[in-house]
A = this chain, B = another copy of it.
Amino acid sequence: MKKKPNILITNDDGIHAPGLRHLWECLRSIANINIIAPLTEKSGVGLAITIRDPLRIEKVETFPNTPAWSVSGTPADCVKMAIKVIYDQPPDIIVTGINRGSNAGRNVLYSGTVAGAIEGVMHNIPSIAFSCWENKDPDYSRTSPFIPRILNYVLEHPMPSGTLLNVNFPRDHLPIQGVKLTRQGKEFWEANPDKRQHPVEEHSYYWMGAKLAEFDEEHDSDIAWLRQGYAAAVPVHVHELTDHMHLRKQKAHFDSCLGE
Chain A positions within 8 Å of B, measured between CB atoms, are 41, 43-52, 54-57, 74, 76-77, 80-81, 83-85, 106, 108-110, 115, 118, 122, 146, 149-150, 153, 157, 159-160, 163, 177-184, 186, 188, 191-193, 195-196, 203-208, 210, 230, 233-247, 250-251, 253-255, 257-260
Contact = CB atoms under 8 A, between A and B. Distances in A.
A8 to B, nearest CB: 15
Given A44-B49, A54-B207, A81-B191, A184 B254 contact: no
A182 B196 CA distance: 46
Contacts of A110: 47-49, 76
Given A235-B250, A243-B160, A260 B191 contact: no
Contact of A245 (B160, B203, B233): B160
B237 A242 contact: yes
Contacts of A243: 159-160, 163, 235-237
A200 to B, nearest CB: 14
Contact of A206 (B85, B177, B236, B241): B85
